[in-house]
Structure 1
Amino acid sequence: MSVVVITGSTGLIGTEAAEFYAGLGYRVVGIDNNMRQIFFGPEGSTDWNRRRLTETLGTKYTHYSVDIRDGRQLNRIFSEYMEDIALIIHAAAQPSHDWAAREPLTDFGVNAGGTLNLLEAMRHYCPEAVFIFTSTNKVYGDQPNNLPLVELNTRWEIDPAHRYHNGIAESMSVDQCMHSLFGASKLAADVLVQEYGRYFNFKTVCFRGGVLSGSRQSGVRLHGFINYLMKCAMTGTPYTILGYKGKKVRDVIHAEDVVTAFHAFFTKPRRGGEVYNLGGGRASNVSVLEAITLVEEIMGKRLAHTYTDQNRAGDHVWYITDLSKFTTHFPEWQMKYSSIRMIMEDIYEKNKVRWRDLR
């Protein structure tokens, strides 16, 4: 039986990927030591996802509580399954700007060092496997803030005549800008994944995601914007808008659609360190103010919220993804959750029971 190795297997993308590939008949090897709880406290714990995966997937899922910074442990796992590994999905990360600034060594060790450990494990034990890296649009730093943005009533928007009006493409520079320490560590990992593809001619790919969301996320104040916003509304927790007048814009893609994009690449892999921007694009994007309005419409009640003018350093004012490179290479891929409302309604419906006791 072919094996899919997933790091961050109890997180948002990892969980969706584990269920997807187990459903296709693959054996899934999950690597996740629940560092999200260390980063964000009990609210960020993903243990509930681990329990659900082991219960629902049974023998199709094997879990290892291993830190990706531990190269020896990773080598032990890879050597055990080396003849059967067909795909590696690397979704483990320290994902917060603010947390990275508090502990840069840990952030870089997880995001960059952990990625290097996995690439080396692939090189030594399964060099013909496909390596998919969940990168981030933060590799572009604050370059998007130099675009000719226009302030509207509920959002910032870009000049319709600009070449990036339909979204930011992979051609945007990642150089000479502020990234945040998190963005820098993810960029280092991104370049490593590209280089292993180019230098060794491996089947590696970086998917630079926008806001990845869905019902399986353990959203917290510092990470998981849409999921956390809905959680606040459902539990009566006040929400704090961080800067940019609440008009900053993000495109949002559902985790299921992320995984089907991964699978499209897996079934027709390209060698040489490919890079794709991946997000909701023009079909699924929202400002913070607009997201609050949507939450209130879905819930049928007001969301208590406050505003602080202190935005996060290096944060994007406006970011929408240009999907054209990926959809040109993989025209068969289509988003199931084609609007931000569909994503938010999914989060609401599937978390009614889980969040009920938090009110």
Structure 2
Amino acid sequence: MNIALVTGSAGLIGSEAVAFFSEKFDLVIGIDNNMRQYFFGNEASTAWNRNRLEEQYTNYKHYQADIREVPQLEVIFKEYGTDIKCVLHTAAQPSHDWAAKEPFTDFSVNANGTLNMLEMTRLHAPDAVFIFTSTNKVYGDNPNYLPLIETETRYEIDASHPYFENGIDENHSIDHTKHSLFGASKVAADVLVQEYGRYFGMKTGIFRGGCLTGPNHSGTALHGFLSYLMKCAITGNHYTIFGYKGKQVRDNIHSYDLVNMFWNFYQNPRAGEVYNAGGGRFANCSMLEAIAICEEMTGKKMSFSYSETNRIGDHIWYVSDLSKFKSHYPNWNWTFGLNETLQQIHDGIASRL
């Protein structure tokens, strides 16, 4: 039997992975204990998404396990053993601001939880491909020291800089920088996944995501930029922009396109390989530009205000360079642009309200 195991399976990327890999594998095992509700409140609960998965995919089996608890993971890995061919580790505490509230919890989920998953895989399914959803926050605020230029609606990198054409590549330093505690815990996890590939020879891939987005995101004020923004645009709830005049730039990758990257890697895996994963030059926007699109789609002016205080470790301009991944996997490309993705988010939120 061929089994794919997905952590954070009721979240944005995890649920997309369940849908995608359910067509490729005999069984998809999901591990998710809905900690997103604990992190961000009832509005962020992923219970609806878990229920959807269990209803739609007959070869999906859910476990309410905690990745911080080895005994809970061990039961699952011992039961399925080497039938597990792929581990997609998408579970995380994903917020800068929340990490500072509970550093022990943040680190235990992001770093210790990742170590637990790696070790369980090494002991019970050593030939499985291990795919890890990292983050561009491992670069800390180093991108903020690039030569940036302010325009009417966004910051942009100087056209003479090597990053102008395609964005920031994997050689950008993750050292000597302010990460936020969230960024630091993800660095620890990122390096662990690399090390299990390089030291133990496991097939591990690290994907440093930009803004991961899509219609199944339970967006909140502290996490889920486009999803939460569109929710505010539809409901009329107030939105606050934190710092940088609203001109900070994010690249946005649809959850399907990211999971398709995972699939391409699974088919021809490498050991300890690192890839940037975002919308790149194909799909990026500033806060102000995103607000304008949301207003156009909803036909309503948004209620928003501006705070001079930017989030600690936040990026002023970040666009991912995916050249390395595309050179390794030339059959992959983006499917959903920014407007298509926002329309899907709009329709998904509207259907749930």
- Asked if residue 136 in structure 1 is aligned to residue 164 in structure 2, the reply is no
- 1:1-359 counterparts in 2 under 5 A? 1-58=1-58, 60-165=59-164, 166-271=166-271, 273-337=272-336, 339-355=337-353
Partners of 1:283 and 1:266 in 2: how far apart?
24
Partners of 2:64 and 2:235 in 1: how far apart?
30
SS of the residue corresponding to residue 22 of structure 2 reads: helix
TM-score normalised to the size of structure 1? 0.97
Partners of 1:210 and 1:302 in 2: how far apart?
27
**Aligned residue identity for 1:228:** Y
Partners of 2:91 and 2:293 in 1: how far apart?
30
1:346 Cα deviation after fit: 1.1
Gaps of 5+ in 1: none
**Partners of 2:10 and 2:50 within 8 A in 1:** yes
Cα RMSD, aligned residues only: 0.7
1:25 Cα deviation after fit: 4.0
Partners of 2:313 and 2:125 in 1: how far apart?
37
Partners of 1:213 and 1:103 in 2: how far apart?
25
Partners of 1:25 and 1:328 in 2: how far apart?
26
Partners of 1:270 and 1:308 in 2: how far apart?
44
- Percent of matched pairs sharing the same residue: 58
Gaps of 5+ in 2: none
Partners of 1:3 and 1:236 in 2: how far apart?
43
Number of aligned residue pairs? 352
1:164 Cα deviation after fit: 1.0
**Deviation by residue 1:221-266 (Cα, 9 ceiling, x = unmatched):** 0000001000111111111111100000000000000000000000
TM-score normalised to the size of structure 2? 0.99
SS of the residue corresponding to residue 318 of structure 1 reads: coil
Range with greater deviation from structure 2 (20-29 or 45-54): 20-29
Partners of 1:190 and 1:332 in 2: how far apart?
26
**Deviation by residue 1:54-112 (Cα, 9 ceiling, x = unmatched):** 11112x01111111000111111011111310000000000001110010000000000
**Deviation by residue 1:287-321 (Cα, 9 ceiling, x = unmatched):** 00000000011111111111111110111000000
**Partners of 2:214 and 2:255 within 8 A in 1:** yes
1:23 Cα deviation after fit: 2.2
**Partners of 2:211 and 2:278 within 8 A in 1:** yes
**Deviation by residue 1:103-152 (Cα, 9 ceiling, x = unmatched):** 00000000000000000001100000000000000000000000000010
1:351 Cα deviation after fit: 2.5
Partners of 1:227 and 1:252 in 2: how far apart?
11
